Amino acid sequence: MNKLFGILIKTIFLVGLVLLSFGYYQLNLKIESLKDSSEDINEPLRQIVNQGEIRTNVIDGCGDACKDEIERLVSQAVATLSAKTNVTNVVNTSATSGTTYIPMGSTFSTFATDWTDVADSGIYIDLEKDYGKSAKVSWGTSLKVAHANGKAFARLFDDTNKIAVDFSEISTENNSTYKQVSSGNLPLWRGRNLYKVQIKSLNSFEITYSGGRIKVSY
């Protein structure tokens, strides 16, 4: 009986030892697997660090000539951009010859029988300074009279000197559609003066002004 009991104890001990050894073996396998995973994660990190070191070495390896070239290219790019964003339109008014048309307002209507300013027609002109001593100036516009019954008048007014421009008065009569009329050469006063268009109706029928402009030949 005691002999059987001793054999049983030994058998249990051996089985326990085998199980313990197997468990220890499995634990070692898991530890090795975790180490391999850690290496897989660290490898890309090492590559990123190495690539960063390579880029840094390339930049640090740029000599004085290289840096000077970079500064030159940057300065050239900045200068080009500044030139494009600071464009100024220059008009040469001292040309030897030519013709210039200067718009004077848009469309304007009135029933008034007294001279009435066309609100948006004002312009400044210094004829001799802007176009030369030999410049000649005239003007023209389109006029119409409602119901083709009446007469429309238009003229230039020197608002600086408070006088009507001599020979600038033009007119149309009994035309219900626009009719183009123009003046001869005009004697503008010297200096920089403000000129406006004025219009009036003969008999209180509505008249309409449109597309007036000054013509300068030089």
Residues 161-216: tens digit of each pLDDT: 999 999 999 999 999 999 999 999 999 999 999 999 999 999 999 999 999 999 99
pTM over 0.95: no
- Amino acid occupying residue 119: A
- Predicted pLDDT of residue 5: 60
* Segments making up each domain of the chain, as ranges: 2-71, 99-217
Q: Give the helix ranges, DSSP H, for 61-195.
A: 64-85, 127-131
Cα 28 to chain center, whole Å? Answer: 71
For residue 41 the two structure tokens come to 């994660």
What's the average model confidence in pLDDT over 28-34? 65
Question: What would the pLDDT profile of 76-118 be if each residue is shown by its tens digit?
Answer: 544 444 333 333 332 434 445 799 999 999 999 999 999 999 9
Pairwise CA distance, residues 92 & 82, whole Å: 24
Q: Give the helix ranges, DSSP H, for the chain.
A: 2-60, 64-85, 127-131
| For the chain, percent of residues with pLDDT exceeding 70 | 56
Q: Are the C-beta atoms of residues 201 and 111 closer than 8 Å to each other? A: yes
CATH of 99-217, one of 2.60.120.1340, 3.40.50.620, 3.40.50.300, 1.10.10.60: 2.60.120.1340
First vs last C-alpha separation in the chain = 143
Residue 195's closest CA among 154, 164, 218, 217? 164
What's the average model confidence in pLDDT over 127-154? 96
What's the average model confidence in pLDDT over 122-132? 94
Pairwise CA distance, residues 160 & 196, whole Å: 10
